[in-house]
Chains A and B, each alone.
Chain A
Amino acid sequence: MTRPRTLYEKIWDAHVVEQRPDGTALIFIDRHLVHEVTSPQAFAGLRASGRIVRRPDLTLAVPDHNLPTTARRDASGHRLPIADAESAAQLAALEKNAPEFGIRYIDAVAPEQGIVHVVGPEQGFSLPGTTIVCGDSHTACHGGIGALAFGIGTSEVEHVLATQTLLLQPSKAMEVRVEGEVGPGVSAKDIILHITGTIGAAGGTGHVIEYTGSAIRSLSIEGRLTISNMAIEGGARAGLIAPDETTFEYLKGRPYAPKGADWDAAVAYWKSLTTDPGATYDKVVVIDAADIAPSVTWGTSPEDVVPITGVVPDPASFADPSKQVAAAKSLAYMGLEPGTRMQDVPVENIFIGSCTNSRIEDMRAAAAVIKGRKKAANVKWAIVVPGSGLVKAQAEAEGLDRIFTDAGLEWREPGCSACLAMNPDKVPAGERCASTSNRNFVGRQGPGSRTHLVSPAMAAAAAVTGRLTDVRELIA
């Protein structure tokens, strides 16, 4: 009988091309997602060394970070140029590199275009038990369907393009188990914010986090992708959720997913992808789902989480002296005083989108709160950015776009948008944004921007009241 293994060990073991005596292993990469920001230097490297892409069939490119979320075609259907010269140059580089190296490419105006981490699962390109990389730290997202997926730097992008492998040290395995049922108004986003607040921004460093327990198991794929997406915010390069019937149901029939007999063989294999009874994790954290409230961040690290019913903490209340310093700096940047009720914090901007929260379920959750209501007068800018053209089309078929626009929110074209503000969507200096994205770093949404991370329903609630709001008051 073989030693019991964790899900992480099973996927790792199935991908070892060569084990090295120093503990590193050459790992095969099943899927490589490419976008315009972290790839130009890698393609330039290939060109300079005369190398080709080893497995173009396993590589998929789509632009997302730089694209404006305003109309991409004029009234007569012609494609509009990108005004920002640098953004346009990055897009042009990808448009040149993809065909030159024979890579599948979803272009900026294709109906399937979207954020690379929304597109992968949506197209069935991301599959359980595969290794997936992308030059983007939120590649952790794809762990939601049971793939070992992680972000890489541009040198590694070049390495994967050239060899379809990476030389890696195995990570440790960590389990975060969330048991029980969450209360009303509590979404996958609140679960992952609560987890990040509990384990800290470096709590998962050196580990791959497997999310287990009944509260995780009962989530839809959209919710699981939200959870795993933010594994990186807890320091873990990858998250994992064991695939199950919910996963298979989600993937069946998607364009790149296996078909016919291949599908049956794939499902049989995927069913083996669970952590064996008796396997041990290097670290275990157990969370009671009943303890999770709709959550919000107050500072400039994603670990700075409180329930919406809470107050801005006093830096002196932290035991760690370096955290006291960091918290004081955060509060100065955020313009917040200790003891202020989070619900009394006004917001001028609302961003509903990003690879964390831009799938159809997120659109529905936000629309359910907004429906029949109006944006508050003090909210100057409120945009809803669907994660892909297909999400956008589905939302429009359900009439969600009208619910947002009737309330005074803007309905945009898909992309990364104000999550990292590489395109024109920015939060002005000194202003706050209730944002469904993943990072509240200093300057993340634009220089001087102040980000409060929340769920889609909570962002919608803030849009209606003009302040951070307990969504349970609006849905009661």
Chain B
Amino acid sequence: MTPLNEVDGRAIPLGLKNIDTDVIIPAHWLKTTSREGMGKGAFEGLRADPANLFDNPPYQGAPILIAGDNFGCGSSREHAAWALGDLGIRVVIAPSYSDIFSGNAVKNGILPVVLPQAAIDRLMEVAATDPVHIDLENQTVTTMFQDRFTFDIDPFRKMCLLEGLDEISLTEKSDAAIGDYEQKLDAERPWMRPAA
């Protein structure tokens, strides 16, 4: 996973609430055994409109996406995060996310920034003409107009993003603890093992 700290660039002012993962990547794009090339299908429905934001030259390849409440709701498909990543997006800014999406995003080096609606409204204005700057280390979103918004992030997720960590290798350090748990489980609740 590519580490992420500072991101500076244009932000796509999408702004809609309840953007579900079927909108981010429709199901027919899930018929693949690869993680690659998903950007072509990203927001396919919205991009069928020639006047869409994503293919508007100032926003092509923009690293930031601004959305409304409950971004990434619905299906658990990680393809949504892969599609955003392939489109070049490293940061999403929204008032809230579905729990599954925000986890998938972080695992793919995409930072889900949570800011209140008022801040989102202001950033939508800025995004119409100018870039937005994100600093994960200091947990800030700033603009050239002296806007400065701070955001909260779970410290573990922050570390994973900053260092580009592979979570499986990290968990494998707890191998002995997992083994102990399995032994205890077999002793205390032997019926937990599938009977057949």
A residues contacting B by CB (< 8 A) are 17-18, 20, 22-24, 26, 28, 30, 37-38, 40-41, 44, 49, 51, 54-55, 57-58, 65-66, 84, 86-87, 89-90, 93, 124-125, 127, 130, 135-137, 139, 150-156, 158-159, 162-165, 167, 169, 171, 201-202, 205-206, 232, 235, 237, 255-259, 262-263, 265-266, 269, 301, 303, 322-323, 325-326, 329, 420-422, 439, 441-444, 447
B residues contacting A by CB (< 8 A) are 16-18, 20, 22-23, 26-28, 30-35, 45, 68-70, 73-79, 81, 96-100, 103-104, 107-108, 117, 154-156, 167-168, 170-172, 174-175, 177-178, 181-182, 185, 189-196
Task: Please indicate the chain A residues that have their CB under 8 angstroms from the CB of B177 in the complex.
Answer: 17-18, 26
29 pairs across A/B with beta carbons < 8 Å?
A22-B156, A24-B154, A28-B182, A38-B76, A38-B78, A55-B182, A58-B194, A65-B30, A89-B31, A137-B76, A137-B100, A156-B107, A163-B174, A165-B174, A205-B98, A265-B189, A266-B191, A301-B18, A322-B68, A322-B69, A422-B27, A422-B31, A439-B20, A439-B22, A439-B74, A441-B22, A442-B45, A443-B26, A444-B22
| Residue of chain B at shortest CB distance from A258 | B191
Task: Please indicate the chain B residues that have their CB under 8 angstroms from the CB of A156 in the complex.
Answer: 103-104, 107
| Residue of chain A at shortest CB distance from B35 | A41
CB distance from A190 to the nearest CB of B (A): 21
Task: Please indicate the chain B residues that have their CB under 8 angstroms from the CB of A255 in the complex.
Answer: 195-196
CB pair A441 B33 closer than 8 Å? no
User: In the bound complex, what is the Cα–Cα distance between A205 and B95 (angstroms)?
Assistant: 12
| Supplied contacts A255-B195, A265-B189, A443-B23, 11 more A-B pairs, CB within 8 Å | A44-B33, A86-B31, A86-B32, A151-B75, A163-B171, A169-B154, A259-B195, A265-B190, A269-B189, A443-B22, A443-B45
CB pair A201 B28 closer than 8 Å? no
CB pair B195 A262 closer than 8 Å? yes
CB pair B33 A322 closer than 8 Å? no
CB distance from B19 to the nearest CB of A (A): 10
Given A137-B75, A256-B196, A447-B45, also A262-B190 (CB < 8 A): yes
| Residue of chain B at shortest CB distance from A422 | B27
Task: Please indicate the chain A residues that have their CB under 8 angstroms from the CB of B168 in the complex.
Answer: 49, 51, 158-159, 162-163
User: In the bound complex, what is the Cα–Cα distance between A442 and B156 (angstroms)?
Assistant: 34
CB pair A202 B70 closer than 8 Å? yes
User: In the bound complex, what is the Cα–Cα distance between A86 and B178 (angstroms)?
Assistant: 37
CB pair A323 B17 closer than 8 Å? yes
CB pair B77 A38 closer than 8 Å? yes
CB distance from B27 to the nearest CB of A (A): 5
| Residue of chain B at shortest CB distance from A448 | B45
Task: Please indicate the chain A residues that have their CB under 8 angstroms from the CB of B104 in the complex.
Answer: 153, 155-156
Give the contacting residue for B70; candidates A205, A262, A269, A325; CB below 8 A: A205
| Residue of chain A at shortest CB distance from B18 | A301
CB pair A237 B185 closer than 8 Å? no
CB pair A153 B81 closer than 8 Å? yes
CB pair A237 B100 closer than 8 Å? yes
User: In the bound complex, what is the Cα–Cα distance between A441 and B77 (angstroms)?
Assistant: 15
Task: Please indicate the chain B residues that have their CB under 8 angstroms from the CB of A137 in the complex.
Answer: 74-76, 100
| Residue of chain B at shortest CB distance from A161 | B168
CB pair A325 B27 closer than 8 Å? no
CB pair A257 B155 closer than 8 Å? no
Given A26-B178, A159-B167, also A153-B103 (CB < 8 A): yes
Give the contacting residue for B191; candidates A44, A135, A165, A265; CB below 8 A: A265
User: In the bound complex, what is the Cα–Cα distance between A196 and B191 (angstroms)?
Assistant: 36
User: In the bound complex, what is the Cα–Cα distance between A24 and B146 (angstroms)?
Assistant: 35
CB pair B100 A127 closer than 8 Å? no
CB pair B34 A41 closer than 8 Å? yes
CB pair B23 A442 closer than 8 Å? yes
CB distance from A29 to the nearest CB of B (A): 10
Task: Please indicate the chain B residues that have their CB under 8 angstroms from the CB of A58 in the complex.
Answer: 193-194
Give the contacting residue for B194; candidates A49, A125, A167, A202; CB below 8 A: A125
| Residue of chain B at shortest CB distance from A14 | B189
Task: Please indicate the chain B residues that have their CB under 8 angstroms from the CB of A20 in the complex.
Answer: 156
CB distance from A173 to the nearest CB of B (A): 14
